[in-house]
């Protein structure tokens, strides 16, 4: 398991404004859907990427078929794909986003080749973590027992 300091994760989440989410699903019970939705609700611009859903609308954005279809600058790449599929995705991101700051691989996703490629370009890499979970943990929004932390009534 990779260790990342809370300060590092908080810095990444604070500096990020635009996130390209690769492998996003239109199915609301899939983690890629609800993570992307949550990030959008927290003020990030989320650009969904999935060739199988290209042209659909999701959270007010058109789903792109590839990273190359995104014309605006992207701060963070969030990858919901199998580990072995990550290197070409990271290569494309590095080619089309000259100011990319972070590659974030979701829980269960790790790839040394993609990590080395990104880090060689000065891009921060986070593996096997979820930005939604880290955001909730670092910014005091973890839910426990169905109640938001800090909102549990003293009458319970």
Neighbours of 5 (CB within 10 A): 8
pTM: 0.88
Q: Which residues contact 141 (CB under 8 A, 6 or more apart)?
A: 135, 148, 149
Q: Is 43 left (phi over 0), alpha (psi -120 to 50) or beta?
A: left
pLDDT tens digits, 108-122 = 999 999 999 999 999
Indicate the length of the chain as a whole number.
Answer: 156
Distance of alpha carbon 142 from alpha carbon 148, whole angstroms? 6
pLDDT score at 140 = 83
Could you tell me if 19 and 76 are in contact, meaning their C-beta atoms sit under 8 angstroms apart? yes
Delineate the domains of the chain, giving CATH numbers in brackets: 6-148 (3.40.50.720)
Per-chain mean pLDDT for the chain? 91
Instruction: Please tell me what DSSP assigns to residue 128.
Output: S
pLDDT tens digits, 12-45 = 999 999 999 999 999 999 999 999 999 999 999 9
Which helix (H) or strand (E) covers residue 114, if one does? helix 112-120
Could you tell me if 39 and 19 are in contact, meaning their C-beta atoms sit under 8 angstroms apart? yes
pLDDT at residue 76 tops 80? yes
């Amino acid at each position: 398991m990779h260790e990342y300091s809370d300060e590092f994760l908080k810095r990444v989440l604070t500096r990020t404004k635009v996130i390209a989410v690769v492998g996003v699903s239109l199915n609301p019970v899939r983690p890629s859907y609800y993570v992307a939705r949550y990030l959008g609700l927290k003020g990030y611009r989320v650009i969904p990427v999935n060739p199988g859903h290209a042209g659909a609308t999701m959270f007010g954005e058109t789903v792109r078929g590839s990273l190359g279809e995104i014309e605006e600058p992207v701060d963070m790449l969030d990858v919901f794909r199998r580990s072995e599929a990550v290197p070409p995705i990271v290569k494309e991101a590095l080619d089309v986003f000259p100011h990319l700051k972070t590659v974030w691989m979701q829980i269960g996703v790790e790839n040394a080749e993609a990590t080395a490629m990104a880090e060689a370009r000065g891009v921060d890499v986070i593996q096997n973590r979820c930005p939604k979970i880290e955001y909730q943990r670092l910014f005091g929004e973890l839910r426990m027992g169905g109640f938001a932390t800090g909102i549990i009534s003293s009458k319970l």
